[in-house]
């Protein structure tokens, strides 16, 4: 079965900033974890094996589309792949924006081979170290430490707000405005504080 690293990260199903679509995706993939283990247990007496492969970002149309590009770069009207790849790269411990479909296929072929005949009930990540980099999900670990640093520098917070709400002379589309508000919501949810309170409680440096 194919799961997702998102299913193994905390704070991806109960974070309102993720939106209903992302939350539903996370819950669907998380459900597979228990399902695989139960199926593996019940089918083991028949020597039938069940495993799940959990990829990180994969180089497919599910990653490369205008909607997702816009969420990662709401400051741009029409972001391109080159614009978003630096953001994609932050997800993995290895400095890559995504893995290739063949990387997932190779793992599936191994699990289907005789070499894996006693491997069952496993949750196998092909994620370039993404879960190791963010073991506590998008609201914890390294991300949380980054927010602690931001709380001490009002100028950085002000610059962040400026990037979100600065508009071009021709204005912004509704999609861009919504994406910017969503990014602001993600930032506030990530840090556990509103932007306004961070501005009041941080020094001017």
Closest CA to 162 of 70, 71, 69, 75: 75
**In angstroms, what is the C-alpha Rg of the chain?**
20
- Beta-carbon contacts of residue 2 (< 8 Å; ≥ 6 apart): 52, 53, 54, 55, 104
Distance (Å, whole) CA 158 – CA 176: 20
Active site positions, annotated: 25
| Dihedral pair phi/psi, residue 84, rounded to 5° | -95, -15
CA distances from 155 to 182, 184, 200 (A): 21, 16, 12
| DSSP H stretches of helix in the chain | 19-43, 66-72, 81-89, 101-111, 130-133, 141-151, 154-165, 174-191, 195-201
């Amino acid at each position: 079965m194919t799961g997702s690293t998102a299913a193994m990260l905390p704070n991806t199903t109960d974070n309102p900033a993720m939106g209903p679509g992302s939350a539903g995706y996370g819950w669907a993939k998380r459900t597979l974890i228990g399902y695989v283990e139960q199926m593996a247990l019940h089918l083991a007496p028949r020597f039938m094996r069940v495993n799940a492969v959990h990829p990180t970002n994969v180089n497919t149309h599910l990653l490369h589309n205008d909607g997702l590009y816009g969420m990662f770069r709401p400051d741009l009207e029409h972001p391109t792949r080159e614009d978003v790849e630096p953001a994609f790269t932050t997800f993995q411990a290895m400095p890559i924006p995504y893995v290739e479909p063949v990387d997932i296929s190779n793992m599936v072929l191994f699990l289907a081979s005789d070499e894996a005949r006693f491997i069952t009930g496993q949750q196998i990540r092909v994620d370039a170290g993404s879960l190791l980099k963010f073991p506590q999900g998008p609201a914890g670990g390294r991300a949380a430490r980054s927010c602690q640093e931001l709380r001490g520098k009002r100028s950085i917070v002000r610059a962040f707000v400026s990037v979100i709400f600065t508009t071009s002379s021709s204005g912004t589309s509704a999609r861009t405005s919504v994406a910017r508000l969503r990014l602001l919501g993600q930032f506030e949810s990530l840090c556990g504080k509103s932007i306004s309170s961070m501005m009041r409680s941080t020094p001017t440096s």
